[in-house]
Chains A and B, each alone.
Chain A
């Protein structure tokens, strides 16, 4: 199969999951492909390399179809084809490419694979993957940008399942490539959570309408989160998961990393965007705030964490929360995402998410969060969290917890700022407001 480089570049760069929208692509080529279905229409997966002008590159997974000699670069558009991926898992196939192999494996004891799949629909609005739902029972997540190593989503779900953590959707199978270009997880199959309400949507819905009810749900979310961290740190014999004491430098390294990220983001801020007006030119204030927070402090333990924790990764179903998407922040490298970190990093992500929700409720749903809602949401969540989390994982004493939490919130807000600038400029006002609030806090509290 030969690919036309120009149409390949055009196709990939137009996808939602394409992560380098601000970079100029110099070249593109298919590194390997593995045929999944030889009957008409043919269906195959390909590893596509995108080379940028600077010479850096990324590898993406493409699923394509060949129908009557016509190449269709979006092979998932035809709902019949992704089924092939699931049946390959069910059969535990190993398929050969030119440079390596693709392995498809089921998880033993997973019941959902037993029957024929009828319907398939794709899930919209995803940033970095493509997901297909089959018969409202199974969900297949196809990872697009590939990096060598096991994907944390597969690794985490497997661990949490084995250690009896209930608030997740069961893992059903996975497929992976290994060979010349790299070895990487390509996708996973999970139980589809039916009738669930997306935590983010639920928040926007209830913030104005039923704020008290949602606050109660957040208390529960805190508990579920605390238990998740306790479970993740529960196996001292599993090197990839056991809790560790961070190195002496860890707080210094964290501070330096966040500090430089602040510096870089502020350097890149366009000065003609009025949505940025509240923070433009105030990078030094933000850095000063960071220095105050990290002047001294304890770090607690480091453990495997969710890594990209916010309301959008949760679902309310059958009167409880289910936690989704253990892939980590897609913009970070895979080794970064698999690193152990403070559990408070997840907590900070969720707290930032409350700020987001409060702003988005008025932006999108035209309902205003009640006065003081965000503070209450934080308090409820933290109460629930501190009740269930193993205290040995956190720094000793509330002031130390608060300080470290604030560092992670700042890190998060700065990350959001860059993310929105690169991907969704119309959302940029939210992290701007968040950072502005943090600076103003500095001036308020000595």
Chain B
């Protein structure tokens, strides 16, 4: 009998808790100062305990690391700092043994300029890879495509003195775009996918997916050809690799992102991130007004039954403010990035706890709102203990410091010399590893980690959060964010007070007269719902989740 670790469940990702890992920063298994797969394997018990269903790995491929590994130099090799392909395979198996799936970042749009494909292409224009990148004699084409990295790149074209032509790149100039017009490139990328799927990986987060094709006279984003290719990828997965998942990174408005789920039966990506909801959660808490939350969810179209939103509070990138108005962006900068060092591109490079001034109530409230929404939540490593950031580090390194495992040397992250660490762990009195670490929070029953653990378990007990319908429940108190989730017999009422002050609200629950709200944490029954509006009172930043049950 072959080993099978999971029930066949094509919709597993709809009920999953994702956990995002920066391998370099997680745990050092070979004492060289940087995290690796050996180290990651040692920490799987912790992730299993936490209730993680799926690990999302940042890029792990061979790379010169000029863009955090999103510049891949060999799609079939693991970066030597992290280990080998065999280590990766063992890691996937060990994860599966613990009931944890694994997805990894994959960049399809471009390669590193170090990639042998590019080197061949530039030196041998007539050769087999001559047409694998987007070359042009001029920099005139595709003028309507915006430059994304405005801080560092003057143009999407860069002149290559070796080949004597310009090449196209939507991101850094050392990341030439692959030419998807070439059928060989299409096939080569499918081979990359097959290679990792055959090793047992459970899916991919597809980085920068809107930019695969270029067409003059368009902004070169979300083109029909790009969708056609994604449909081809999906068909291949459906045919040969059941229960795997494609997660699209398309930082766009929800009405544009839904195109990446494909047609109404969902024939492109299984999941896509819901980017705009996140800044609005921060806005709601700061303004003490739930309106932005209601509005963005109203603006979110329905998605195919077999698709799911990915939701997150923070991740390895900046808190992106592309999907807000200018006015809203100014507000966010004023409130959350008081030091200009905290800004990067169009966003704020801070972790969750510092963004919320380390307020325990606020952190819990934000997780409650996140976990209550339709979608699958992603927890960013370190945020489960409220790690801080270091805004004095360059680029986004400030939110990628070593995981704080213990109060011991190097935060228990590595046994290498302090100076040898890829980055030094935080040492400040509030967020430093002696104050904030896994070991101490595990031991403290009232810690944030222990709270989150119980909260994750609660969410997982109720598939309604992943599968159910969402029905907003507006009231005349704009400081209250309330909604009903419903799936089969399970009806859940989630009510959150985004204000700093105590609040009362009267909710119209006339649809549920006779049912008894049972608070889900403590399983306390509240008075049955009657004909009058249902009155609830809240502590500052308080929230209640109720299951609406038949009276016993």
Q: Evaluate whether A256 and B450 lie within 8 angstroms (CB atoms) in the complex, with A55-B464, A268-B523, A287-B445 already known.
A: yes
What A residues does B43 contact at CB under 8 A? 247, 249
Does B8 lie at the interface of the complex (its beta carbon under 8 Å from any beta carbon of A)?
Answer: yes
A24 to B98 alpha-carbon distance, docked (Å) = 28
A248 touches B406 (CB 8 A): yes
A240 to chain B, nearest CB (A): 9
The 7 A-B pairs at the shortest CB distance, nearest first, are namely A252-B442, A55-B463, A183-B4, A53-B489, A182-B7, A253-B49, A335-B99
B1 contacts the other chain (CB 8 A): yes
The CA-CA distance from A103 to B2 in the complex, in Å, is 12
- A150 and B49 form a contact (CB under 8 A): no
- Chain A stretch 274-293: residues in CB contact (< 8 A) with chain B: 287, 291
Contacts of A247 in B (CB 8 A): 42-43, 45-46
Determine if A386 is an interface residue (Cβ-Cβ < 8 Å): no
Q: A residues within 8 Å of B by Cβ?
A: 24, 26, 51, 53-56, 59, 103, 147-150, 176, 178, 180-185, 246-250, 252-253, 255-257, 259-260, 263, 267-268, 287, 291, 294, 333, 335, 338-339
A335 to B48, CA, bound (A): 11
Cβ of B3 under 8 Å from chain A: yes
Structural contact, B489 and A182, CB atoms closer than 8 A:
no
Q: Is B240 an interface residue (CB 8 A)?
A: no
Least Cβ–Cβ distance between A152 and chain B, in angstroms = 13
The chain A residue sitting closest to B4, CB to CB, is A183
| Docked CA distance A271–B450 (Å) | 26
Interface residues of B toward A: which range? 35 or more
Pick the contact of B461 from A54, A250, A259, A267 — CB < 8 Å? A54
Q: Which of A54, A250, A268 contacts B45 (CB 8 A)?
A: A250
A259 touches B4 (CB 8 A): no
Given A248-B405, A256-B49, A335-B99, decide whether A55 and B5 contact each other with a Cβ distance below 8 A: no
Chain A residues whose C-beta falls within 8 Å of the C-beta of B443 in the assembled complex: 252, 255-256, 291, 294
Which of chain A's residues has its CB closest to B93's CB? A239
Cross-interface CB contact of A148 among B4, B461, B462, B490, cutoff 8 Å = B4
Q: Which residues of B contact A182 (CB under 8 A)?
A: 4, 6-8
Q: Are B464 and A59 in contact (CB under 8 A)?
A: no
Nearest A residue to B94 via CB reads A239
What are 9 inter-chain pairs, A to B, with CB distance below 8 A? A53-B488, A176-B1, A184-B4, A252-B439, A252-B443, A256-B442, A256-B445, A291-B443, A335-B99
CA distance A185 to B49 in the complex (A): 26
Determine the chain A residues whose CB is within 8 A of the CB of B461 once the complex forms.
54, 56
Question: B4 touching A53 by the CB < 8 A rule?
Answer: no
From A26, A51, A255, give the contact of B442 (CB < 8 A). A255
A54 touches which of B5, B6, B412, B463 (Cβ 8 Å): B463
Cβ–Cβ < 8 Å partners of A259 in chain B: 445
Nearest CB in chain B to that of A103: its residue: B1
- The answer to whether B1 and A150 touch across the interface, beta carbons within 8 angstroms, is yes
A328 to chain B, nearest CB (A): 15
Which residues of chain A are within 8 angstroms of B5 by Cβ–Cβ distance?
A: 148-149, 335
Pick from A26, A257, A291: contact of B489, CB below 8 A.
A26
**Additional 18 contacts, C-beta under 8 A, given A249-B43, A256-B445, A335-B5:** A26-B488, A53-B488, A53-B489, A54-B489, A55-B488, A181-B7, A182-B4, A183-B4, A246-B45, A247-B43, A247-B45, A248-B439, A249-B442, A250-B45, A256-B442, A257-B49, A260-B450, A287-B445
Main secondary structure of the interface of A (DSSP, over half): mixed
Q: Mark B386-399, 1 if CB is under 8 A from A, else 0.
A: 00000000000000
CA distance A183 to B99 in the complex (A): 14
Cβ of B522 under 8 Å from chain A? yes
Tell me the complex Cα distance, A88–B2, Å: 20
Contact A148-B6, Cβ < 8 Å, known A54-B461, A54-B463, A55-B464: yes
Q: Judging by beta carbons under 8 Å apart, are B99 and A54 in contact? A: no
B299 CB within 8 Å of chain A: no
Question: Is B424 in contact with chain A by the CB < 8 A criterion?
Answer: no
Which residues of A lie under 8 Å from residue B522 when comparing CB positions? Answer: 267
Query: Could you say which residues of chain B place their CB within 8 Å of the CB of A147?
Result: 7
The reply on B474 being an interface residue by CB < 8 A is no
Using A180-B8, A247-B46, A253-B442 as known contacts, say yes or no to A335 and B405 having CB atoms under 8 A apart: no
- Residue of chain B at shortest CB distance from A177: B1
- A335 engages B97 (CB within 8 Å): yes
User: Which residues in B have their C-beta under 8 angstroms from that of A51?
Assistant: 488
In the bound complex, what is the Cα–Cα distance between A256 and B438 (angstroms)?
Answer: 12
Given A54-B461, A253-B46, A260-B454, A338:B97 Cβ within 8 A: yes
B residues within 8 A CB of A185? 1
Complexed CA–CA distance, A55 and B180 (Å): 43
Quick check: is B487 within 8 A (CB to CB) of the other chain?
A: yes
- The CA of A246 and the CA of B45, in the complex, are separated in Å by 9
B278 an interface residue at 8 Å Cβ cutoff?
no
Q: In the complex the two chains form, is A249's CB within 8 Å of B4's CB?
A: no
> How far does the alpha carbon of A250 sit from the alpha carbon of B44 in the complex, in Å?
11
Name the residue among B1, B438, B461 with the largest chain A CB count within 10 angstroms.
B1
Give the chain A neighbours of B488 by CB distance below 8 A: 26, 51, 53, 55
Tell whether A256 pairs with B453 under 8 Å between CB atoms, given A183-B1, A287-B445.
Answer: yes
Enumerate B397-422 residues with CB–CB distance to A below 8 Å. Answer: 405-406, 412
Residues of chain B lying within 8 A (CB to CB) of residue A291: 443
* Pick from B7, B454, B489: contact of A59, CB under 8 Å: B7
Q: Which residues of B contact A333 (CB under 8 A)?
A: 99
